[in-house]
Amino acid sequence: MSETKAKKYFDLAKKWLAKAATSSDVELLKETLRYHEWKYYVENDPVLSDYEYDQLYNQLKTIEEADPQLITPDSPTQRVASDFTQDLDPVKHLVPMLSLDNSYNDEDLKKFDEQIKKLTGETGDIEYCVEPKFDGGSIAVVYEDDQLVRAATRGNGAQGEEMTLNAKTLPSLPLNAPFSSLGIKTAEIRGEGVIRKDIFAKLNEARALEGKTLFANPRNSATGGLRMKDPNETRARGIEVFAFQLGYAVAEDGTDMLQMINRHSQQIALLGELGFKIPSDKEVVCKNIDEVITLIKQWEADRENYPYEIDGVVVKVNRRALQEICGSTQHHPRWAIAFKFKAKQATTTLVDVEYQIGKIGSITPVAKVLPVHLAGVTVSSISLHNEEFITSKDLRIGDQVVIERAGDVIPYIVKSLADLRTGDEEPIVFPKECPSCSTELVKEDEMQAAWRCINPECPAQILQRIIFHVSKAAMDIDGFGRANVERFAELGWLRDISDVYDLDYETIAGLDGFGQKSADKLQSSIEKAKQNPISKLLHSLSIHHLGKKASKLIAEHIDHVLDLANWSEEDFLSIKDIGPVVARNVSAYFAEAANVEMLQRMESLGVNLTQTEEDRPIAVADNAPLRDKTILFTGSLQKMTRGEAKKKAEAAGAKAISAVSGNLNILVVGEKAGSKLKKAEAIGTVEIWTEDQFLEILGEL
């Protein structure tokens, strides 16, 4: 496909997304949809988001429904989109693999329920089976006399590309399944090849170390992996196959054995018993469409905690007898529908790049894009992380880019659409000097991606250090957020951290938007912060690599913060778990006279620099109930905060850690526990306790 054609079909798509196509556009609309199908299914390099494609597809369907004479055999509404690459041999499916009709809201689902009742004549509740809609690559696998004899991609629905050798490398697909115990001689199962999110992250980590281009997302990695020419490369992708349908099951005498299975949910359970991977923790039977709608809302809210990418759910009439009455169109079964979650991807234009300076001088490029609505919010700024990210994504000013909201929270640029370039795009030139103070930028270690300004007097760094100092993560000064820090700095009131404790509250009370009550509240918060333990103070100073844990360890070994001005690097290294990088950085910080003077001024203004009871190491008895155990808390605790729970655990001899791994001994689970619970269950060696069990062990219940 030429660059001209790519831009043509992209521009047409955007035009019709802004203003719907008409019947006069129908042939061009079909061409546009076919191009985007090719980009999605064959190239694994979509230009449009799923939602945008679906909107165009629905426009075509509406036009054709209004004037059936416009329907042609090659219309995208009359066939399943093809994923042929012509790299593999074509093979015919035993029964067609159809697509699914889509829905996006409660009204669509209720209309679907009404249509089912109209088709079947049922007047009461319709029972539905609801399953996750995995975002991967569909395959059909044939078993003959219990042996896996053939596997193929979905292709055009009637035939796909054979990938039997590749399929045999996938551990989740049994090479032998006991269909004969059910009287079945030949069976064809339908499944979806997917890559677990954590496996995908490891794949990209390995590719980064090898200097290879990173995979855009798990879906592309899975679909591409299924069709590799080398089966060993398929296996290396970590692809798992979830079975979602027994599409064909025939006895030796030709009897259709599917007639023996009354419900789709029974079919799924049967596949699980035969050794196939099924979504047993997500597949649910609902007694009516209202239960379906409630369940979908729960799943959408929890989608990021699911270990695999799911872009929606599939709703299927559960009773097979009703499925047969409903039948199918050439495109989709009438008894099933896909509900699509809110779009996570969209396309927009990268119009500029700005550079932010962090509290330790790290330079972060930020993309400014044309505002685009995505997953419920308008996105206009996106972090580009570092220079290497820009290079790896081949980003240029003026590019059309695909953006995504990771976890429906953090905007992320997936890729640039190089096919759509006109030649007017401009390279992104990373600065050589600090945008704030013009100091030459450095990379202290070639292994690190970030460029840094190492001027401690850089105005932008000072501002960011003050913002961090007052934040909840540091001194936790309530009511003193970023906006107030920036405002006070512009007024000349904040030149370094010590100025936080020497403000004129009467003047603040007179500012627009403040008043006496707000000023008094700020003063109260600052006075409270002055009494913080010195471990918090050390962490709040933005010393490079000095985190909460190391700050606590150092605070345990000093009577006064300024004692550190007399410490050597060797003194720091004598503390267990303090490494050479932290030792070097903290020693260098306290060797600077300006830093010591700032802390002396803070003490004169009432800030505590002396070790508190909270800073002292916790004495643990030899018979402490959790001695030498590692522990982690997840979910919402009802009887204490996470911080209180952690202190209780440490007092009982446990070491609190931050992630689930093979090193974790105990996971304490509160309400709405998510991915950490699932990961701990998968490890199998982690003890899983309730909040009450934890308190009972401590003798507090």
Supply the residues annotated as catalytic. Answer: 133
363-398: b (≥16 Cβ within 10 Å) or e: bbbebebeebebbeeebeebebbbbebbebbebbbe
Helix, coil or strand: residue 243: strand
* The one-letter amino acid at 376: G
Q: What's the CA dihedral at 110, 113, 117, 122 to 10 degrees?
A: -110
CA 497, 500, 502: angle at the middle one, nearest 5? 120
Three-class secondary structure assignment of 624-668 = CCCCCCEEEEECECCCCCHHHHHHHHHHCCCEECCCCCCCCCEEE
**DSSP code, position 483:** H
Q: What's 277's DSSP letter? A: B
Q: Which two tokens stand for residue 655?
A: 């070491």
Structure tokens at 618: 């916790």
User: Residue 170 corresponds to which tokens in the numbers above?
Assistant: 């996938």
Concatenated DSSP letters of 343-376: P-EEEEEEEEEEEEE-TT-BEEEEEEEEEEEETT
- Phi and psi (nearest 5°) for 71? -75, 130
Q: What is the maximum span of the chain, computed from C-alpha positions, in angstroms?
A: 95
Beta strands at 655-656 and 630-634: parallel, antiparallel or unpaired: parallel
Site of tokens 């808390």? 633
In 17-166, beta strands by DSSP E: 90-92, 101-103, 128-134, 137-144, 147-153, 159-161
Task: Name residue 621's amino acid.
Answer: A
Closest by Cα among 209, 97, 199 to 156: 97
